Amino acid sequence: MKVLIKNGTIIDPINSIKEKRDVLLEKNIIKGVSKKITENADYVIDAKGMIVSPGFVDLHPNFCDPGATDREDLKSGSFSAAKGGITHVILGVDNKPAPSECNVIDYIKRYADIMPVNIYTSAAITLDRAGEEIADLNFLYSHGAFAFYDGLRSVGDKNVLAKAMQIIKSKNKVLSIFSEVYDDKSVRGILDGTAAKNLKIKSATKVNAEVDDLMINLKLAKMYGVRLDLAYITSPESIELVAEEKKENKEIFAETPAINLILNDKAIDKYDTLAKVIPPLRPEADRVKLIKALKSNVIDIISSNHVPIEEKEKKLKFKEASSGVIGLETLLGICGVALVKEGHLTWKEVIEKISVNPAKLYGLDKEGVGSITEGTKANITIFDPNEKWIFDESTIVSKSHNSPLIGKELLGKVKYTISNGKLVYRDVVINNNEEN
């Protein structure tokens, strides 16, 4: 089958393309990229007024499968990702049992191939993600673990972390690590500050909890030379630390969640538990510095930090409520309204953060991911950069609806998602009897 994408503006940072060109796909492969393609096709996409981008690559979205499929599963998570323009996901590890066991890795790999987007498995660093005893990383690797991550939990035992770094380095794989100091008494998902005081929470996440843990993790990474993904940097002190470290260590990539770019800690007063997230929302001054770090490339990647939570878990009192928001379907729209509209980043720079850089981190760029390159598999997202749209709860594909952005206006709407040459998502305006 031949698919022709016409009249769109390609933004492909890898190939230094930013102009109107046509793209021809044949047998799932990008056959041609040219200013005018006249060859007949079985299916034509008129992308006039739209941006034709490399498919987005999202790190650590939680599909909760196996273990918590009332919140999300491989199928619903994949289609939610497709709606968000995401063609590749390196999964999070919020599974039960945790993916520190090979049967979980085997289960995910068994079903990944039939999903609409490309799914890569992550293995837990420690048993049950408890941060205390190292998992059998060699065995997990032999079963196809693509990445290693303990989720939104710090690896508390740094001797265990050091051993894990050595093993992961030997496999030439990426270690993703979340930095935050906390204990059993900590109320996570809210920063120690005004919002916590208003809720009379005395054991909220300390302001320096992120940077204190990060400092140790960076020293170990430098010692063992592991390729490191710093999952979810948000504090000004962490930004300064990462900026200094990256001057010498080229194996470090820093990542931040989209929700922390659009909301500050005042959102907790308005949205209550829907704004309870890890890492916690920070004051407005910190949010501004986070955006500056994106612009200066101290932070390389923007991710969805997709954590589906059932409604009943969000209706509890703040201390007991689960932390997290869904984010796959709002990733582009948040970038549009918080970054592009405000003049902080261009769409080219956004594409670098949500496609090019995460592909580079995991070596997927060698397969053409993160670019629109002739001869490679077609993974393409087409979006309208000027379309304002409301995040309507009735249209959410994810099984869970935990988001403070429901009813809010976003900018930049995904129109088509092509994964491995197949059209896996199409946005159809309800007009003249057409349906979504």
Please give the residue range of the domain that contains residue 292.
55-367
pTM of the predicted model over 0.85: yes
Domain-located, residue 133: yes
Q: Is the pLDDT of residue 237 over 50?
A: yes
Mean pLDDT for 28-49 is: 96
- Give yes or no for a contact between 398 and 388, defined as CB atoms under 8 angstroms apart: no
**pLDDT recorded at residue 184:** 84
Output the pLDDT for position 136. Answer: 97
Residue 201, classed as helix, strand or coil, is coil
Q: Which two tokens stand for residue 418?
A: 């092509």
Task: Determine whether 258 is exposed, middle or buried from the number of CB atoms within 10 Å of its CB (0-12, 13-18, 19+).
Answer: buried
Mean per-residue pLDDT for 143-154? Answer: 96
Burial bucket for residue 190 (CB in 10 Å: 0-12, 13-18, 19+): buried
Please say if the pLDDT value at position 434 is more than 80: no
* Residue 388 forms part of a structural domain: no
- Tell me whether strands 29-34 and 204-205 are parallel, antiparallel or unpaired: unpaired
- The dihedral through the CA atoms of 385, 391, 396, 401 has a sign that is positive
Q: For 159-191, what is each residue's pLDDT tens digit?
A: 999 999 999 999 999 999 999 998 888 899 999
256 pLDDT exceeds 50?
A: yes
Q: Could you give the CA distance from residue 57 to residue 88 in angstroms, rounded to a whole number?
A: 5
Residue 338 lies in a domain: yes
State the distance between the two ends of the chain, measured CA to CA, in whole angstroms. Answer: 24
> Is the distance from CB of 356 to CB of 59 less than 8 angstroms?
no
CB atoms within 10 A of CB 42: 10
- Structural domain contains residue 28: no
Quick check: 431 pLDDT over 50?
Answer: no
Check residue 428 and give its pLDDT.
Answer: 77
| Distance between CA atoms of residues 306 and 285, nearest Å | 24
pLDDT over threshold 50, residue 306: yes
Question: What is the DSSP annotation of 319-364?
Answer: TTSPP-B--GGGHHHHHIIIIITTTSS-HHHHHIIIIIHHHHHTTG
* pLDDT for the residue 429: 54
Share of residues in the chain with pLDDT > 90 (%): 95
Number of domains composing the chain:
1
Count of residues making up the chain: 436
Q: How many helices (H) and strands (E) does the chain have?
A: 14, 21
Round the average pLDDT of the chain to a whole number and report it.
Answer: 96
Give the confidence band of 285 by pLDDT, cuts at 50, 70, 90. Answer: very high
pLDDT (tens digit per residue) in 320-372: 999 999 999 999 999 999 999 999 999 999 999 999 999 999 999 999 999 99
Residue 133, CA distances (Å) to 7, 124, 227, 369, 413 in order: 55, 11, 21, 35, 44
pLDDT higher than threshold 70 for residue 432: no
- pLDDT tops 80 at residue 153: yes
Q: Tell me whether residue 101 is in a domain.
A: yes
Reply yes or no on whether the pLDDT at 70 is more than 50.
yes
The CA distance from 132 to 433, in Å, is 57
For the segment 365-389, what is each residue's pLDDT rounded down to a tens digit?
A: 999 999 999 999 999 999 999 999 9
pLDDT at 433 over 60: no
pLDDT at 14 over 80: yes
Statement: residue 436 has pLDDT above 50? no
DSSP code of residue 275: G
Q: What is the CATH number of the domain that holds 210?
A: 3.20.20.140
Confidence at residue 90, expressed as pLDDT on a 0 to 100 scale: 98
Closest CA to 380 of 146, 37, 57, 38: 57
